[in-house]
């Protein structure tokens, strides 16, 4: 009888442990960061396999109009396809932080009043009638902090947003330098664990994601942050351009196949740097321009989640991938991303 009770106790403990693990599992989501929403087969498969229930949808950028007197929508999203009915859509608004350096409080309130109806009208075009959260993406600094926080506080007073929670992105320098960056008046933040190196610096490096910078910014600071922290991890790659060792931009016209063409590029065997052998007008490049190809591998994501798990006070409720794009999703498998999503 005693052994039987011990056996039942063990089984019950295992069930409780399993249930606890299930309750703590992160919700998976994706960012969608294009100006036209269009579904594709590979993206839909990843969403389905990972049971990604949230889509963080870039609605627009906000920047100055020509007169520099008001903020206006830049490149707002359009819809080729309807938004999925089985995913919660979180509208995301990117705001250039210089807006808050040039607008007075009246203009900031006027801008805030325009946000909700614009988002609602845009989502209606995609077949969505409601939303429960808005996320603002702003790389605020010490000088733009107070007006940005004023903007967020004022949004809370708008009746149409009474039942809508506010979140913001959080960059590494904003959490490292919390005394000057401040804490945004939002319900939660999404820590963007990418774009952490010096993109414009010539030489072999990965400015998207590297463990040295991650530790430099985040070690021993995450546990003390007073807001709920969601995590965003990168799935993208890019081609960083240099001319005369000076940064000249990021190319959207190069491909990995072009870099592999030995008639076009010669590669430094010990780095990710490529030297152009001849003019390439189609990509706006000249002979002797240098391309640094930066990408994120699954081992980078594993190392990042291992680090974050030790530093975070609690598991994040949402783990987000940036971004939903078949060209970058093709570099990963469902199983790999599932392993990442369950490792925090």
Per-residue b or e along 288-312, where b marks 16 or more CB atoms closer than 10 Å to that residue's CB: ebbbbbbbbeeebbeebbebbeeeb
Same domain, 112 and 165: yes
Residue 287 domain-assigned?
yes
pLDDT, averaged across the chain: 92
161, 116 contact by CB (below 8 A): yes
Structure tokens at 260: 């592999």
What pLDDT is recorded for position 87? Answer: 95
**Whether pLDDT at 143 is above 60:** yes
**Whether pLDDT at 21 is above 80:** no
Which range marks the domain in which residue 60 is found? 24-237+295-341
Same domain, 247 and 329: no
Same domain, 285 and 329: no
Output the domain CATH number for residue 45. 3.20.20.80
Residue 14 domain-assigned?
no
Q: 10 vs 181, which has greater pLDDT?
A: 181
What pLDDT is recorded for position 101? Answer: 94
Same domain, 60 and 92: yes
92, 137 contact by CB (below 8 A): yes
Residue 115 domain-assigned?
yes
Distance between CA atoms of residues 266 and 27, nearest Å: 43
Reported as a pLDDT band with limits 50, 70 and 90, residue 271 is confident
Query: Among all chains, which residue has been given the structure tokens 């072999």?
Result: 204
Same domain, 76 and 167: yes
What pLDDT is recorded for position 199? Answer: 93
Residue 8 domain-assigned?
no
Same domain, 150 and 95: yes
201, 278 contact by CB (below 8 A): no
Count the helices and strands in the chain (H runs, E runs): 12, 16
Same domain, 190 and 335: yes
Reported as a pLDDT band with limits 50, 70 and 90, residue 26 is confident
Residue 181 domain-assigned?
yes
- Which sign does the torsion angle of CA 283, 64, 76, 237 carry? positive
Structure tokens at 60: 């627009």
Among 81, 92, 84, 87, which residue's Cα sits nearest to residue 38?
81
Same domain, 43 and 144: yes
What pLDDT is recorded for position 24? Answer: 53
What pLDDT is recorded for position 10? Answer: 46
- Burial of 341 per CB tally in 10 Å (0-12, 13-18, 19+): buried
Residue 11 domain-assigned?
no
Same domain, 184 and 286: no
The total number of structural domains that make up the chain: 2
pLDDT digits (tens, 9 = 90+) for 68-96: 889 999 999 999 999 999 999 999 999 99
Same domain, 199 and 154: yes
Distance between CA atoms of residues 151 and 133, nearest Å: 16
Crossing angle of helices 334-341 and 298-311, rounded to 10° = 10
pLDDT digits (tens, 9 = 90+) for 183-238: 999 999 999 999 988 999 999 999 999 999 999 999 999 999 999 999 999 999 99
Phi-psi region at 51: left, alpha or beta (left = phi > 0; alpha = psi -120 to 50): left
Quickly list H helices, 284-333: 298-311, 326-329
Residue count (the chain): 344
pTM of the shown model? 0.90
What pLDDT is recorded for position 194? Answer: 95
Residue 10 domain-assigned?
no
Q: What are phi and psi of 315, to 5 degrees?
A: -65, 140
Same domain, 242 and 257: yes
Distance between CA atoms of residues 271 and 58, nearest Å: 34
Distance between CA atoms of residues 79 and 193, nearest Å: 29
What pLDDT is recorded for position 12? Answer: 40
122, 129 contact by CB (below 8 A): no
What pLDDT is recorded for position 11? Answer: 46
285, 249 contact by CB (below 8 A): no
Same domain, 226 and 244: no
275, 202 contact by CB (below 8 A): no
Residue 131 domain-assigned?
yes
Q: 164 vs 12, which has greater pLDDT?
A: 164
Any idea which of 3-7, 97-101, 313-317 has the lowest mean pLDDT? 3-7
């Amino acid at each position: 009888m005693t052994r039987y009770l011990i056996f039942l106790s063990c089984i019950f403990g295992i069930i409780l442990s399993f249930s606890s693990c299930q309750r703590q599992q992160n919700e998976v989501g994706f960012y969608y960061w294009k100006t036209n929403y269009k579904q594709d087969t590979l993206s839909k498969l990843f969403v389905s396999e990972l049971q990604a229930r949230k889509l963080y949808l870039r609605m627009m950028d906000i920047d100055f109009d020509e007169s520099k007197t008001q903020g206006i929508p830049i490149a707002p999203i359009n819809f080729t396809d309807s938004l999925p009915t089985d995913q919660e859509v979180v509208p995301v608004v990117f705001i250039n932080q210089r807006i808050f350096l040039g607008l007075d409080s009246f203009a900031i309130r006027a801008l805030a009043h325009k946000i909700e109806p614009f988002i609602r009208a845009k989502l209606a075009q995609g077949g969505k009638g409601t939303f429960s959260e808005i996320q603002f993406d702003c790389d605020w600094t010490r000088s733009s902090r107070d007006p940005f926080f004023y903007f967020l506080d004022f949004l809370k007073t708008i009746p149409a947003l009474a039942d809508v929670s506010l979140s913001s992105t959080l960059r590494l320098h904003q959490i490292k330098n919390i005394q000057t960056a401040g804490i945004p008046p939002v319900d939660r933040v999404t820590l963007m664990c990418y774009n952490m190196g010096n993109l414009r610096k010539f030489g072999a490096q990965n400015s998207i994601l590297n463990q040295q910078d991650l530790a430099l910014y985040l070690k021993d600071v995450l546990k003390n942050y007073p807001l709920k922290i969601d995590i965003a991890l990168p799935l993208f790659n890019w081609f960083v351009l240099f001319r005369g060792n000076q940064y000249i931009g990021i190319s959207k016209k190069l491909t990995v196949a072009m870099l592999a063409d030995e008639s076009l590029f010669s590669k430094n065997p010990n780095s990710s740097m490529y030297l152009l052998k001849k003019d390439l007008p189609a990509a706006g490049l000249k002979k002797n321009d240098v391309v640094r190809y930066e990408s994120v591998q699954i081992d980078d994501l594993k190392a990042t989640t291992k680090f974050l798990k030790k530093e975070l006070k609690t598991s994040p409720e949402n783990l987000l991938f940036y971004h939903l794009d078949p060209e970058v999703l093709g570099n990963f498998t469902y199983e790999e991303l599932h392993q990442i999503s369950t490792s925090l």
